[in-house]
Amino acid sequence: MAANGVGSGARIVCEHEARMEADRLLADPRLHVSDRHRAFLRYIIDARFEGRSSAVKAYSVAIDVFNRPSSFNPSSDPIVRIEATRLRETLQKYYEQISDEPGARLDIPRGRYVPVFVERDRPRSPRLDAADFADNVGPLSSEKIEGPSKSGRSWKQAFVALTAFCSICLASGYAVVQALVPTIDTEKPFVSLSLSATANDKAAGDAFMEGLLMSMARFGTVRLKAATAGAAKPPNEVAQHSYDVSMRYEEAAGLASVSWQIADAASGETVWADRETRQVAAGSSAAATTGLVYAMSRRLAGTAGIVGAIELRRDLPLATTGNLCVLRGESAIELKDVAGLKRARPCLEATIAADPSDSDAMATLARVFMWTGRATGDDSYFDRSVELANGAATLSPTSPRAALAQMATQYQLGQNETAIAAGKRAMALNPENTDLAARVSKVMYLSGHWDEALAVARQATDVSGQPIRDASFVMILDAYRRGDYAQAVFLARQVPAPDTPICVLKLAAIARLGDRPVTEKEMADARLQHADLDSTIAAMFFGVRYDRSLEMALRAGVEQAGLKLPELASNGRM
């Protein structure tokens, strides 16, 4: 194996072989890697088969795999390079161990985090080498050849037949591997909470704990249990995880704070640690307590929370049903990942078939159908998505997932006011869900409720204590609409790891400021960071209904930036 991880002259294998090797490698007990390296490997493999490899950078790996904060700087923290080197060394030793076995090999070329699947090093058949040489270079003899000999034709025909046979075997083998993988049903993880405080802070700490339990329960993403409960083993140890959250509450120097850590209940390993702090108003800590409750419940139990993120990285087959399938579906929706949406659909349908009362799976499948319809332009998906969303809301009227599905699907069909009403109901039932509030603000703003939407976006940001993408989108878009392009650029630069729509708004605002050199530099940077720039612009105009004046202002900025604009839509779905 070459130093960079890819052998000289190695042949890239076909997609079937690559997928078979990925599944086999991750399931092979002989691959001795840490949980961190297994998560790293799973992350880059998933990106490879989902067509997202161009977006896998040191920053994204550090944030998504190694739990680094959004302020992570690859220049000062070389963790990704170090762990990638260690993973390459482990893979090299592993493949040396199984060198006598046929098949493909996964390599990670140096300088990139994109896996390459090639043929394993092994002696080749002399006859095959000669045939390859003849086909690619020319005849071995200098004699003039009138035409292909009968034996040559026979060999080539046999070779083509053998190749076809092998392809069929590979495809069949892949299907057999998939069929032999047992279906695993996953449940929502258990979370136990414990809190300590000094005698002076005990009353405030008890109030915080009571509020946190209620707030986390409203999210509906985890199951809460008492920290003193017995450690009864679940019926399927693989399918269910438990986490212990230890917290310490204290008030000092006008601040209320909670220091906390999450540990895997089975191994005792600490998987996350952090601290939340709020100002204490004069004479009362109630507001600070509420702020801490909302911040903690969102970080632990939010749909994009830490427990969900840890669960999402579990190394289980794609056919896994239940809670993990729901999380994977939500992740595909957030990433607008068409391949991920396609993969999520069968396991969500299987989850609903096994439990028709699973409102989370129904709500997620509703949004999967909606985004599939938008991605493919097939309107037939939308009716099914509305039916599923309404069914989820009927089964679980207080579920934020069901409300979000109702809002999204109704907005897609042009029922803006009905969509906003569904979002507001969910906000009233789940006031700590600032991600939901931010999405409601976005629907409201795009529907022309500018002042109210801006107020909701700002409140969601204040409660969360950090930028939320949908809320940031609303505030940037409002500054742009008012012609305050400098403020729009400023706000866009404050968003950590901005998504492509925010990047488009920033580019449009910079272009409207008239500084062409800066515009061109920002454009070059944006194309490096966002491979989906052009497709996102098309989706922003074809998939969203803007106020007409706002749409024309956006078009002007996008055009000034030199970006490709879609034609004006005639279907009224702006």
Res. 176: pLDDT tops 70: no
CATH of 317-430, one of 1.10.150.120, 3.40.50.720, 3.40.640.10, 1.25.40.10: 1.25.40.10
Give dist(CA 302, CA 539) in Å, integer: 27
Give dist(CA 74, CA 566) in Å, integer: 36
Is 261 in contact with 285 (CB distance < 8 Å)? no
Of the listed ranges 88-92, 229-233, 301-305, 548-552, the one predicted with least confidence: 229-233
Closest CA to 431 of 295, 321, 567: 295
CA distances 537 to 140, 196, 457, Å, are 56, 50, 23
Res. 162: pLDDT tops 60: no
User: What is the pLDDT, as a whole number, of residue 523?
Assistant: 85
- This prediction has a pTM of 0.64
Q: What is the mean pLDDT of residues 524-538?
A: 77
User: What is the pLDDT, as a whole number, of residue 244?
Assistant: 94
Q: Going by C-beta distance under 8 Å and a sequence separation of 6 or more, which residues neighbour residue 440? A: 407, 420, 423, 424, 426, 427, 456
Element spanning 107, H or E = strand 104-107
35-44, 186-195, 232-241, 534-543: which has the highest mean pLDDT? 186-195
User: What is the pLDDT, as a whole number, of residue 4?
Assistant: 44
Write the pLDDT tens digit of every residue in 48-66: 888 787 778 888 888 888 8
Res. 175: pLDDT tops 60: no
Task: Name the residue with higher pLDDT: 388 or 283.
Answer: 388
Res. 438: pLDDT tops 90: yes
Any idea how long the chain is?
574
User: What is the pLDDT, as a whole number, of residue 73?
Assistant: 78
Q: How confident is the model at residue 69 (pLDDT cuts 50, 70, 90)?
A: confident
Q: Where are the beta strands (DSSP E) in 205-280?
A: 223-226, 242-252, 255-264, 270-279
Closest CA to 350 of 381, 324, 371, 384: 324
Of the listed ranges 161-175, 200-214, 492-506, 508-522, the one predicted with least confidence: 161-175
User: What is the pLDDT, as a whole number, of residue 456?
Assistant: 96
Packing angle, helices 15-27 and 150-180, rounded to 10: 40
Of the listed ranges 230-244, 337-351, 430-444, the one predicted with least confidence: 230-244
CATH of 186-229+238-304, one of 3.40.50.1260, 3.90.180.10, 3.40.50.10470, 3.40.50.10610: 3.40.50.10610
Res. 14: pLDDT tops 90: no
One fold for 186-229+238-304 and 317-430: no
Q: Residue 396: count other Cβ atoms within 10 Å of its Cβ.
A: 19
Structure tokens at 18: 């690559």
User: What is the pLDDT, as a whole number, of residue 545?
Assistant: 64
Q: What is the mean pLDDT of residues 525-542?
A: 75
User: What is the pLDDT, as a whole number, of residue 48?
Assistant: 87
- Domain positions in the chain are 15-119, 126-140+152-180, 186-229+238-304, 317-430, 453-574
User: What is the pLDDT, as a whole number, of residue 100?
Assistant: 82
Q: What is the mean pLDDT of residues 125-130?
A: 32
Q: Going by C-beta distance under 8 Å and a sequence separation of 6 or more, which residues neighbour residue 241? A: 189, 190, 264, 265, 266, 310, 311, 314
User: What is the pLDDT, as a whole number, of residue 361?
Assistant: 96
User: What is the pLDDT, as a whole number, of residue 497?
Assistant: 75
User: What is the pLDDT, as a whole number, of residue 284?
Assistant: 63
CA neighbours closer than 13 Å in the CB half-sphere of residue 447: 23
Is 405 in contact with 366 (CB distance < 8 Å)? yes
Average pLDDT, the chain: 80
Structure tokens at 418: 């009905």
Q: Residue 235: count other Cβ atoms within 10 Å of its Cβ.
A: 8
The DSSP symbol for 563 reads P
Q: What is the mean pLDDT of residues 250-273?
A: 89
User: What is the pLDDT, as a whole number, of residue 227?
Assistant: 52
Give dist(CA 373, CA 306) in Å, integer: 30
Q: What is the mean pLDDT of residues 385-405?
A: 92
Q: How confident is the model at residue 226 (pLDDT cuts 50, 70, 90)?
A: low
Is 442 in contact with 540 (CB distance < 8 Å)? no
